[in-house]
A and B are shown apart, each in its own frame.
Chain A
Amino acid sequence: MAEPLLEVKDLKVHFPTDDGLVKAVDGVTYSLQPGETLGIVGESGSGKSVSSLTVMGLITPKQANISGEVFFQGQDLLKLPKDEMRTIRGAKISMIFQDPMTSLHPFYKVGFQISEAILQHQDISKKEAMDQAVEMLARVNIPRPRERADQYPHEFSGGMRQRAMIAMALSLNPDVLIADEPTTALDVTVQAQILDLIDRLKSEFNAAVIIITHDLGVVAEHCDNIMVMYGGKAAEFGNTDDIYYKPLHPYTWGLLSSIPRLDEEKQERLNPIRGLPPSLILVPPGCSFHPRCPYRFDPCDKDVPELLPVDGHHAAACHLSLADKERIRDEEVLAHR
């Protein structure tokens, strides 16, 4: 296997608060190959956004206790001084945020906001930067890019704002693009446009992409590998087919049977996961999923299960034996689908 582009090892991000320590991310490990699309899936509060904000250097030791390693091109990003991190952020690793309505500045013209990012990293004139910005707008399929660059964000529709954000994120040809819920605020038709755009630009720019989402459909269609997160930890990791056809963690089973499927023959009752996601302050002892897990047994509320590989790089953090997991999966989970 080639040298990974980005390698996150045992990342922990704990926020001290008045109510106690919030363990937003509690030991996450993954790696990203060049040209790969990794999906990080989880519910609100599973730590999926915090882990990527930390990789971007947007959560600092001032705000949180951070431990672990984030290797990018041979350097540990967590140990880099601020100004060096600034040359990487935006230029080599960039990010698209969830809400295109609030992540553009309403007072500045769109073209200016894109060219500002370019000027930060390249020694060129303002006019050249603006030309680059217009070219980027054209590449993300914004019609009449020259006119559009001279408009304010409120003159853009939601989908176009997200395109402008993508143009901004890709304007410096980054190696890694992190998309944090890039399409949650958008209609399905626009979502399909944006995801296709990300796919196309990924191959054009030869970048690696991390898509953070709660939508299991989005990851099924666009990702090579998937990490399912729960309570700040990875519950399961595998390639897309592993996760959808051979899932091994009860939480993944729960997620898969919670979603209504377009291709279901008749309206079968959904099978939701009982209860609520855990509080990150009072994380349940042992496996953090055990209070909601229908298959829990003796060690689940005592020992924290490790993320152990089953075959290849498909791994699940669950105490059930592989034989049990396969039996439950085939008899109870997949049989209903």
Chain B
Amino acid sequence: MSVQAEPTTPPPPAPEGEPLVKLTGIKKYFPITQGILIQHHVGNVHAVDGVDLEIHAGQTVGLVGETGCGKSTLARVVMRLYDATAGTIWFDGRDITNLKGKELRDLRGDMQMVFQDPYASLNPRKTIGSIVGEPFRLHGTVPKNRIKSEVEQLMELVGLNPEHYNRYPHEFSGGQRQRIGVARSLALRPKLIVCDEPVSALDVSIQAQILNLLDDLQDEFNLTYLFIAHDLSVVKHVSDRVAVMYLGKIVETADGGHLYQEPKHPYTGALLSAVPMADPELARQKRRIILQGDVPSPIDPPSGCRFHPRCPQSREVAKAEGIDGPHPRCMNEEPELTPHGPMQRAACHFPLERSIIGTGSEDDGEHQVASMEDATSADDPSGTI
């Protein structure tokens, strides 16, 4: 996981070929300075702190985590909007970590971004035609006299009426604006699209329309998505593989099915149990793990496993050994991402053994009840961290 520690075990079998995007040991620190005239460097915000990730062409990798876990920073590092503090970004077999000038500009055509807020990401003083046509003008991939017809094609592709070419963003609803954002990102026929919370500002029925649109476009243009969201059910729906981030690190990666059925990292389990399920029966069966407190500050992240101050599992294991509080191993030793089966890797000393939602085999029933009691005792406000 960290830079010096190359994974000792072979990574899970990759779907054939080189990945389109490969990140090794990516770190991004933001300096904190103090002083008015002379700026002293007093610390770092460890926004991304050693991430390895591979994204294969045509696949969707989902990135989930709470606010402040570094998922958006990681996306911006991949897009080369931020320079990485350490680590290497490989894109299409090429090291792009230090590209500059024209080379970097040319690269932008291959990777594009769809932003969260469709109200803030479109210039209110430009028409839709000029917003969607801007990439053509900047990159000169299409002769000037053909830009309009190209833009109209793009608008049709994303389900907008091409006659609305001369309208302004305020004349569109949130869902339509998000379609405009998608059209703009498609203009240069990129290989990779980074979607940063593309549907979280939208109503449920509109959200489903946009998710379907992204899905159709992926099939049509063989697009690769890095899909960031805090909504686990959305991420699971769109992704071939999901990476769970906590405080600047990836704590678990798996395909959606494994993640849901047998999460290994207690944080993944807690996230899963926190997602409200639109099914009263399943919701009643669900094992509830309520995390105490908030995400710690990334300025001075906890030692050992970063999740240990909030981890119910670590306390449970420690309790069985007669220790109060988190397990000492979790406090002192940083866990590495280790494989659990072919499709799953988790960074945890004491991985979970059961699913969160009652999908396990029947003889699990008794454990389920016992663990529910454990989980409630862990919720006890007196044990507040």
Query: Nearest Cβ distance between residue B243 and chain A, in whole angstroms?
Result: 16
Number of A-B contacts (CB under 8 A): 143
Residues of B168-214 at the interface with A, using a CB-CB cut-off of 8 Å, are: 173, 175, 203-209, 211-212
- Counting CB contacts under 8 A, is B381 at the interface? yes
Supply 9 further A-B pairs (C-beta < 8 A) apart from A222-B276, A257-B208, A262-B272: A188-B232, A189-B274, A190-B66, A193-B292, A217-B275, A260-B234, A260-B237, A269-B212, A276-B173
- Counting CB contacts under 8 A, is A220 at the interface? yes
Closest A residue to B211 by CB, please name it. A270
Q: Which bucket holds chain A's interface residue count?
A: 35 or more
From A220, A222, A254, A262, B205 is in contact (CB under 8 Å) with A254
- Counting CB contacts under 8 A, is B384 at the interface? yes
What does DSSP make chain B's interface, helix, strand, loop or mixed? helix
> When A192-B290, A263-B357 are in contact, do A244 and B279 touch as well, CB less than 8 Å?
yes
- Counting CB contacts under 8 A, is A187 at the interface? yes
- Counting CB contacts under 8 A, is B215 at the interface? yes
Q: Which residues of B contact A (CB under 8 A)?
A: 66-67, 173, 175, 203-209, 211-212, 215, 230-234, 236-238, 256-257, 260, 270-283, 288, 290-294, 357, 359, 379, 381, 384
Neighbouring A residues of B256 by C-beta, 8 Å: 267
> When A262-B272, A272-B205 are in contact, do A267 and B67 touch as well, CB less than 8 Å?
no
Q: Is the CB of B280 within 8 A of A189?
A: no
A157-184 vs B, CB cutoff 8 Å, 1 = contact: the mask equals 1111000000000000000000000000
Q: Which residues of A contact B (CB under 8 A)?
A: 43-44, 141, 143, 157-160, 187-193, 195-196, 214-218, 220-222, 240-241, 244-245, 254-267, 269-273, 276-277
Report Cα–Cα, A187/B272, bound state, in Å. Answer: 12
Query: Nearest Cβ distance between residue A267 and chain B, in whole angstroms?
Result: 6
What are the 10 closest A-B residue pairs judged by CB atoms, nearest first?
A217-B276, A260-B237, A272-B208, A192-B274, A258-B208, A270-B208, A273-B205, A43-B203, A216-B278, A187-B66
Q: Is the CB of B237 within 8 A of A221?
A: no
Report Cα–Cα, A256/B208, bound state, in Å. Answer: 11
> When A260-B211, A260-B233 are in contact, do A277 and B277 touch as well, CB less than 8 Å?
no
> When A260-B236, A263-B277 are in contact, do A158 and B67 touch as well, CB less than 8 Å?
yes
Q: Is the CB of A261 within 8 A of B278?
A: yes
Q: Is the CB of A159 within 8 A of B276?
A: no
